[in-house]
Amino acid sequence: MDTYDKSMAPRFGQLLDQRLARLRAILQSEMPTESTGAHDVVDFKDMASDESIAAIDEAQSARAARDLEHVLAAKRRLADNSYGMCEACGEPIDLRRLTALPETAMCTACQSLDEHPAAGRR
Contact by Cβ (8 Å): 19, 27? no
Kindly identify the residues of this chain, within the stretch 77-106, that bind Zn ion according to CB under 5 A: 86, 88-89
Q: Is 15 in the site for Zn ion (CB under 5 A)?
A: no
Residue 114: which of 88, 90, 94 has the closest Cα? 88
Q: How many CB atoms lie within 10 A of CB 95?
A: 16
Tell me how far, at minimum, the Cβ of 19 lies from Zn ion, in Å. 22
Asked if 6 and 81 count as a contact pair (C-beta separation under 8 A), the reply is: yes
Measured from the CB atom, is 27 or 106 closer to Zn ion? 106
C-alpha torsion 103→81→77→29, nearest 10: -60
Q: Rank residues 89 and 100 by Cβ distance to Zn ion and give the closer one.
A: 89
Q: Map residues 29-68 to x or -, x wherever contact with Zn ion holds by CB under 5 A.
A: ----------------------------------------
CB of 37 to Zn ion, least distance (A): 31
Q: Residues interacting with Zn ion, by CB under 5 A?
A: 86, 88-89, 107, 110
